[in-house]
Chains A and B, each alone.
Chain A
Amino acid sequence: GAVVSQHPSWVICKSGTSVKIECRSLDFQATTMFWYRQFPKQSLMLMATSNEGSKATYEQGVEKDKFLINHASLTLSTLTVTSAHPEDSSFYICSVPTSGISRLEQYFGPGTRLTVT
């Protein structure tokens, strides 16, 4: 599988500010990474697919101007939450898909817990 890191692991910010979250694939060159969000006691919800060298594709209902994604290299994708509001407080997790036996297995980073006050 892939070894994935995220930074920061947790962040507290004030409403209206922007927060950047980094996702790094440490041992695998990832042309694609996925960004998820998980609210307490809820499932992982896919937000967007990050594509190296091109624009991210966003899931329905996710504002691309609010959640900016940049995938500038094969090992790094960043998610910037712009003008954060308390309802953006959540657990943000990235994943790297790798080829398992005839299927793509996803390996997750440790997540970033965002609290907006």
Chain B
Amino acid sequence: RKEVEQDPGPFNVPEGATVAFNCTYSNSASQSFFWYRQDCRKEPKLLMSVYSSGNEDGRFTAQLNRASQYISLLIRDSKLSDSATYLCASGTYKYIFGTGTRLKVLA
């Protein structure tokens, strides 16, 4: 089993839709969790850290479920510009990245 797993997608959604991704992790000792956005042939950019209490940044909401060992990312009111690959990462000092979930927002 991979340490961090994500559904590769693609998730094709219409503009304005709400979409959610999950990411499971196997190391229960992991302390930190993140969501990154990666555009084609570019570097990952930090989207948001994931806190135990859950956190929201505009249209984006991240949550952590330690009991089931997964994190989630919810995107509301999807924009065309949200089309990208979303990577989750977990770890304590060194991070393990998932392979990413590809999102396509369609006009």
Contacts and interface: CB of A to CB of B under 8 A. Distances in A.
Interface of A: 1, 34, 41-44, 46, 49, 91, 93, 97, 100-101, 103-111, 113
B32 interface: yes
A68 B14 CA distance: 46
Interface string B46-65: 10010100000000000000
Nearest to B8: A41
Given A43-B87, A43-B98, A46-B94, A93 B32 contact: no
Nearest to A101: B49
Contacts of A109: 43
A35 to B, nearest CB: 12
A49 B94 contact: yes
B42 to A, nearest CB: 7
B42 A110 contact: yes
21 contacts: A43-B4, A44-B44, A44-B97, A46-B95, A46-B96, A91-B41, A93-B43, A103-B31, A103-B49, A104-B32, A104-B93, A105-B46, A105-B49, A106-B34, A106-B95, A108-B43, A109-B43, A110-B42, A110-B43, A111-B43, A113-B41
Nearest to B102: A41
Contacts of A107: 46
B66 interface: no
Given A34-B94, A44-B97, A49-B94, 9 more contacts: A42-B99, A43-B4, A43-B99, A43-B100, A44-B44, A91-B41, A97-B93, A101-B51, A106-B46
A109 B4 CA distance: 22
Interface in B15-42: 31-32, 34, 41-42
A108 B44 contact: yes
A101 B51 CA distance: 9
Contacts of A49: 94
